[in-house]
Amino acid sequence: MTHNDGRVRAVIDAVRPAVDGGRFAVKRTVGEALEVEAHCFADGHDVLRAVLAWRGEDAKDWQEIEMQPLGNDVWRAGFTPESIGRYRYTVAAWVDRFATWRHDFARRDDPADRALAVLAGAELAGQAAARATGADAKALADWAKRLRHSTEAALDEEMAAIAARHPDRSHEARWPLEMPLTVERARARFSTWYELFPRSAAAEPGRHGTFKDVEQRLAYVAELGFDVLYLPPIHPVGRERRKGKNNAVSAAPDEVGSPWAIGAREGGHKSIHPQLGTQEDFRRLVQAAAEHGLEIALDIAYQCAPDHPYVKQHPDWFRKRADGSIQYAENPPKKYEDIYPFDFECEDWQALWAELKSVFDHWIGEGVKIFRVDNPHTKAFAFWEWAIAELQRAHPDVIFLAEAFTRPKVMHRLAKLGYTQSYTYFAWRNTKQELTEYFTELAQGPGREYFRPNVWPNTPDILTEALQVGGRAAFMQRLALAATLSANYGIYGPAYELMEHRPREPGSEEYLDSEKYQLRHWDLERADSLRAYIAAFNRIRRENPALQADASLRFLRADNDQLIAYVKQTPDGANQIVCVVNLSPHHTHGGWVELDLAALGIEPDRPYQMHDLLSGARYLWNGPRNFVQLDPQRSPAHVFRVRRHLHREQDFDYFL
Amino acid sequence: MTHNDGRVRAVIDAVRPAVDGGRFAVKRTVGEALEVEAHCFADGHDVLRAVLAWRGEDAKDWQEIEMQPLGNDVWRAGFTPESIGRYRYTVAAWVDRFATWRHDFARRDDPADRALAVLAGAELAGQAAARATGADAKALADWAKRLRHSTEAALDEEMAAIAARHPDRSHEARWPLEMPLTVERARARFSTWYELFPRSAAAEPGRHGTFKDVEQRLAYVAELGFDVLYLPPIHPVGRERRKGKNNAVSAAPDEVGSPWAIGAREGGHKSIHPQLGTQEDFRRLVQAAAEHGLEIALDIAYQCAPDHPYVKQHPDWFRKRADGSIQYAENPPKKYEDIYPFDFECEDWQALWAELKSVFDHWIGEGVKIFRVDNPHTKAFAFWEWAIAELQRAHPDVIFLAEAFTRPKVMHRLAKLGYTQSYTYFAWRNTKQELTEYFTELAQGPGREYFRPNVWPNTPDILTEALQVGGRAAFMQRLALAATLSANYGIYGPAYELMEHRPREPGSEEYLDSEKYQLRHWDLERADSLRAYIAAFNRIRRENPALQADASLRFLRADNDQLIAYVKQTPDGANQIVCVVNLSPHHTHGGWVELDLAALGIEPDRPYQMHDLLSGARYLWNGPRNFVQLDPQRSPAHVFRVRRHLHREQDFDYFL
């Protein structure tokens, strides 16, 4: 910050929130407040004023909100964006001569001194009158006249308020950065995903499923309470070097291959696999899903089967080996010969970027607004920043989920570059300490301003050891944790509700007979299905806004290491949820759970009701410490809504 | 960071250290290393290389040092500036095709694959040869030829090292900021200050002291081990509204007034008070001080007595009251009618700034290189940033100490703006917890990169309650703490060594009969003087580089709340000092002090010697916990040098 005018005496520093000093956007959703803090001060003892200024990125005029001093030179103000899009915010501060005069005047005790000082006040009032118009100008001018003859009205509150509306800001300091803010729709913050393979959706075993079959499945998915239905790639599957069942190196002629081996003579990333249906079928599916309250999310995987049309049309988009063949994906000594990665360092990179972006444009044109991006961390970062910005500028309601299971800084970078949501390490966080540390970091660490976790207990690539060995209780526990720890979560079904748990081989996280390489048929009506359990959690999530955001998450003390307890609440405290989960898949555990009553607004000496939203049971609790016991075979979790006691004289007992 | 070329795949983030994201300079002194860390990574699995680049601010060429990966995508390199001045540093990183090829090649196990891959290596070697010259070019070209026929030399270490010297950096990422670094002389980091009033330096009572008297005092100050002799303002003292003894509202005709009421008909900030001597006398004093190893530091206080020449020459540099009189300093209801502050918002601010800066230029011209600036926080911040930068550009060896006892963010701002050293809250940190928290923050908080504490147990304005009531032991304790906790410290003498402790009134921190308003005569030869005690500490400081920097400070556990213990060591561990101070001025205290043996490089099962540099006593300690007892009446502190046991076969016992 350099000043051309040396008379700028105010200083602004440490404007927060800021992602990498304003290099990247802070994220919010519509209706979520952005609270901004800054350090503002000036030399000496003069009185400072500061404003938070914000505008839509394309708006010319700034809106301003007066900041309030919190002490220690920290100032704060907030605003709540009412529509999606990109915004800018900054801070201005100035030494306020009128406020300084008034502050000093109130402390003057020498009458001669006051008589002289009031004349300075009259001059300042006159100057404020000159800056004002209409009624304010007249009121200030009149007041200035009165001050010239009497000290009586010097501290008039009303006049001070009018003068404050017309400050002299000619020497104001302004934070040199216009900090970016991206405001997305509510689903960016709160979403519940169900992943299924359309080709396994046929009603009868052995037949290749179609979009029409998926249409028949919509009621089931909606009944389970999901709002996003995510489909693995729906494009033509490559035939060259096609993989067989259980990732066999070669496929029998009738095998279906992996949908992530994209592209064949029928087309590539903008085409539909003929066995799934037509473009028209797809459009109808999107429409039917919407009627069930479901959005279709597509998988974008930037890689090509050897017979993808791009390979012939744009051989220069791929790297060559010394023998002139195209370089397949590899991480020596491992080879993935059925996949060609794009070469982001190729000479023709601009055309490549444009074509890759146009894949999104195509599907947006088909009505898709949510994309799960496969392995974004193996494509150039600069591409994502450009593509997401361009796409969201045209379609600010598009949501991107980054499937990057990789190193922390890389995952955070993708979120900074614009990804709406990010997969997490949740699948591998099992103990109380692991879960507490990880979710505390997610909710309270610097990433909370830009990294929105989307947690999955399983995916087609991830069948964790916990699920392999923990039985039904493990599936219930991991579902309970995912659905309540994170406002965004998803499952890969029907494998999840049917508790599919056989690995391809011991020590592997791959499913045996994985749908990635073959059709499967699922018996949704099985008596042991977890569908009702899952539906209960999704209903509770919809009904309780505390579970629809992550920043409020706080862990509670519980004196048993197998019991994890935490609380989430809305900013106004109107909705408060306390969860207790038994982490052992084998044994009943009990322990004392300690609430922070003050943080919940509960008076220490009054009872309060804990309403278990899963069982419907209501418990009357007293004081901060209460005993909880959970049998994982029956139900490993409590999801309590806290109902505070209201004391009204006309009621005997009334719970909010 | 935006890329015009989309092929730049490396990402650089979080370059540290950084003061406010590079807005302000990191500070070091000559010979102190700057260790730089950055997050560097790229998409995918390719091998990255990164360099730290640095240059003198006016140099054209960058020097580069290869950064090393520490894991988790953090990279580090350091350099040690060899001369004072301003520097810039930044980071570059690139996806290295040669290093990636070599990394992959080493892992290939398929002979056909290796045969093909070596050809790619030959091509890369040829490209490196084209970038190289001389012997490197020839070696690489030869190697490229060999690789075309055999895989044998593919992993040749020597060739890899040569190729690494000629990387393809055409798509390198570069951190967009050239981060500023200010390198000052060693005294910026390590200095020992003695403040005295020249007018009280006369050998006989009642006479106004002179620069010549101060010359006679130099041997004494040097014997005490100080290296900076700081003089309160030496300018003509105003006569108008002069304050009397003990800050009386008016002075008797023979009273000397406050040296901070600057300016009279004899001159202002560039003049010398006639009773102190002539310009020639001052020059001789500066010279004589240098011969005693002392630098003269002057006090710069930007304020005017009513009869300062500026007031008549530049009435527009001051604010007017409504009656046309000049506004004196005030903080209603308090008035300081003998002092006129400058109006930094005046129209003529540019001339004001130039004149104020010229005060420094004048005294630099007289040989002064150290300035203690009075109340810098009541002058415009922008002025300081400009003035210090201009002055240090012309005179990089000039040191500025900010006397700002004010709110933390304001003190930190002044340090960021360029102040070399800063006064601190040390005088009011008394308990073990207060001292531990405060000095941990100073040594390890973000301020460590720019805020150099200079701690004073007393000043002419600050006679703390601890010194008022604690007797001799308190003066010894506070001296011991100041001299060992902080590489920069000072005392106001001879009040300190003579244990002057009477306040003007109960509850006040002002001295009774303060030298600020009257002459004092001090009996330096008093038998109870602390001069020998102080000299011992200053000798220990000079002989032990561990005490000449602050970053290594770590507090040790001691099981008695009245015992504070801490360790400082040089980066190479060659000099290690452990201090233990009894904080009670009244009672002997003992307790177990716990060393971190690993941090000191002491083997857990070997004895080590603790050599008390104050008493000369040597103790043999064993293991981490040892008992220490201190009688505050005799000596409230141990200053141990740790002498590790060296086991050489030819010696029986030898301590480093």
Average pLDDT, chain B: 96
- 3-class DSSP state of B396: coil
In contact, B486 and B475? CB cutoff 8 Å:
no
User: Taking CA atoms, what residue in B is nearest to A6?
Assistant: B382
Chain B environment of A99 (Cβ under 8 Å)? none
**Residue A162 φ then ψ, to 5°:** -65, -45
The amino acid at residue A82 is: E
HSE of A641, CA atoms in CB hemisphere, 13 A = 21
Give the count of beta carbons closer than 10 Å to the beta carbon of residue A585: 20
Considering the candidates B338, B403, B449, B497, report the single residue annotated as catalytic: B403
Q: How far apart are CA A64 and CA A172, in angstroms?
A: 14
Strands A370-374, A295-300: pairing kind: parallel
Residue A494: cis peptide before it, omega within 30 degrees of 0:
yes
The number of angstroms, rounded, from the C-alpha of A559 to the middle of its chain's C-alpha atoms is 31
Question: Greatest CA separation found in chain B?
Answer: 104
Amino acid residing at B40: C
Residue B157 confidence (pLDDT) = 97
**H-state helical runs in A292-370:** 309-313, 349-365
Collect all residues with Cβ–Cβ distance below 8 Å to B156 and sequence separation of at least 6.
B143
Produce one character per residue of B367-396: b if its CB has 16 or more CB atoms within 10 Å, e if not.
ebbbbbbbbbbbbbbbbbbbbbebbbeeee
How far is Cα of residue B382 from the mean position of the Cα atoms in its chain?
A: 22
Rounded-to-integer distance, Cα A523 and Cα A520, Å: 10
pLDDT digits (tens, 9 = 90+) for B531-575: 999 999 999 999 999 999 999 999 999 999 999 999 999 999 999
Give CA separation, B191 vs B295, B299, B421, in Å.
10, 16, 10
Q: What are phi and psi of B213, to 5 degrees?
A: -65, -40
pLDDT over 60 at A647, yes or no? no
Exposure on the CB side of residue B461, measured as CA atoms within 13 A:
10
For the cut 60, the answer to whether the pLDDT of residue B648 exceeds it is: no
In tens, the pLDDT along A276-321 reads 999 999 999 999 999 999 999 999 999 999 999 999 999 999 999 9
Closest CA to B171 of B43, B288, B280: B43
Cβ-Cβ contacts under 8 Å between A and B: the total is 142
- The full length of chain B comes to 656
Residue B651 has pLDDT above 60, yes or no: no
Mean pLDDT, residues A553-557 taken together: 98
Q: pLDDT band for position A644 (50/70/90)?
A: confident
Nearest chain A residue to B354 by CA distance is A6
CB contact under 8 A, B380 and A108: no
pLDDT tens profile B566-609: 999 999 999 999 999 999 999 999 999 999 999 999 988 889 99
A12 near B CB under 8 A: no
- The yes-or-no verdict on residue B477 having pLDDT over 50 is yes
Name, in order, each residue with C-beta under 8 angstroms of B2's C-beta and a sequence gap of 6 or more: none
Name the residues of A annotated as catalytic.
374, 403
Residues of A whose CB is below 8 A from B321: 116, 120
A544/A542 Cα distance (integer angstroms): 6
pTM for the complete prediction?
Answer: 0.94
Name the token pair of B353: 């700034």
CB within 8 Å of chain A, chain B residues 135-194: 171
Query: A6 to chain B, minimum CA–CA distance in Å?
Result: 6
Distance CA A318, CA A311 (A): 8
Given a contact cutoff of 8 angstroms between Cβ atoms, the answer to whether A430 and A583 are in contact is yes
CB contact under 8 A, A44 and B377: yes
Give the chain B residue nearest A354 (alpha carbons): B6
Reported confidence tier of residue B645, pLDDT bands at 50, 70, 90: low
What's the pLDDT at B319?
96
Give the type of residue at B437: E
- pLDDT value at residue B646: 56
**A440 backbone dihedrals φ, ψ, rounded to 5°:** -65, -40
Tokens at residue A310, please?
Answer: 């791009």
Give pLDDT tens digits for A18-68. Answer: 999 999 999 999 999 999 999 999 999 999 999 999 999 999 999 999 999
The two structure tokens encoding residue B329 = 């300093």
A390 confidence band (pLDDT: 50, 70, 90): very high
Q: Look at residue A631 in the predicted model and tell me its pLDDT.
A: 97
* pLDDT tops 70 at residue B493: yes
Q: What residue type is assigned to position A255 of the chain?
A: E
Say whether residue A3 is in contact with chain B using an 8 A CB cutoff. yes
Residues 481-540 of B with CB under 8 A from A: none
Residues in A touching B149 (Cβ below 8 Å): none
Question: Tokens in use for B559?
Answer: 């099981």
Beta pairing class for B191-195 and B228-231: parallel
Give the DSSP H or E segment for B135: helix B134-147
Q: Is A592 on the interface with B (CB under 8 A)?
A: no
DSSP state of B337: T
Mapping DSSP onto H, E and C, the string for A146-161 reads HHCCCCCCCCCHHHHH
Q: Is B7 on the interface with A (CB under 8 A)?
A: yes
Q: Across the beta sheet with B74-79, what order do the strands follow?
A: B10-16, B34-42, B74-79, B68-71
Q: Return the number of other C-beta atoms located less than 10 Å from residue B582's C-beta.
A: 28
Is the separation of the CB atoms in B313 and B400 below 8 Å? Answer: no
Is B6–A330 a contact, with Cβ atoms under 8 angstroms apart?
Answer: no
The encoded tokens of residue B611 equal: 């050599």
Contact by Cβ (8 Å): B499, B463: no
DSSP secondary structure string for all residues of A461-522: TB--HHHHHHHHHHHHHHHHHHHHH-SEEEEETTTTTTT---BSSTT--SBTT-TTTS----
Residue B90: CB atoms within 10 Å: 21
Which value does ipTM take for this structure?
A: 0.93
Residue A387 tokens, joined: 């593509």
3-state secondary structure of A629: strand
Nearest to A77 by CA among A38, A21, A103: A38
Radius of gyration of chain A (CA): 30
Q: What is the pLDDT of residue B3?
A: 46
Calpha distance A12→A174 (Å, rounded): 7
Arithmetic mean of pLDDT, B355-359: 98
B387 and B419 Cβ atoms separated by less than 8 Å: no
For position A605, what pLDDT does the model report? Answer: 86
**Contact flag A322-B407 (C-beta cutoff 8 Å):** no
| Residue B644: pLDDT band with limits 50, 70, 90 | confident
Structure tokens at A617: 């049971």
**Which of B492, B571, B573, B575 lies closest to B540, judged by CA?**
B575
Of B116, B346, B378, the CB nearest to A321: B116
| Three-class DSSP category at A352 | helix
> How far is CA A427 from each of CA A126, A400, A467, A497, B121, rounded to the nearest angstrom?
67, 20, 10, 16, 40
Residues whose CB is less than 8 angstroms from the CB of residue B49 and which lie 6 or more positions away in sequence, other chains included: B66, B93, B94, B96, B99, B164, B167
Considering only CB atoms, B333 lies closest to which of A21, A108, A331, namely: A108
Question: For residue B656, is pLDDT > 80?
Answer: no
What is the average pLDDT value for chain A, to the nearest integer?
A: 96
Is the distance from CB of A449 to CB of A17 less than 8 angstroms?
Answer: yes
- Distance between CA B25 and CA A320 in Å, rounded? 47
> In whole angstroms, how large is the CA radius of gyration of chain B?
30
Would the pLDDT of B647 be above 70? Answer: no
- Region A431-452: what's the mean pLDDT? 98
Q: Which of A21, A109, A331 faces B21 most closely, judged by CB atoms? A: A21
What are the CA-CA distances from residue B408 to residues A10, A274, B301, B438, B620 (Å)? 16, 69, 21, 12, 43
Residues 6 or more apart whose CB falls under 8 angstroms from that of B598 comprise: none
Q: Residue A463: what residue type?
A: L
CB proximity A45 to B under 8 Å: yes
Residue A404 Cα, gap to closest chain B Cα (Å): 11
Query: With an 8 Å Cβ cutoff, are A381 and B11 in contact?
Result: yes
Closest alpha carbon to A172 in A40, A18, A54: A40
H/E/C letters for each residue in B20-49? HHHCECEEEECCCCEEEEEEEEECCCCCEE
Helix (H, G, I), strand (E, B) or coil at B488: strand
Token representation of residue B155: 């992993």
Q: Which residues contact B412 (CB under 8 A, 6 or more apart)?
A: B447, B450, B451
Please list every residue in chain B whose beta carbon sits closer than 8 Å to the beta carbon of residue A23: 1
The pair of three-digit structure tokens given for residue B217, joined into one six-digit string: 């005092």
Identify whether the C-beta of residue B491 lies closer than 8 Å to the C-beta of residue B457.
yes
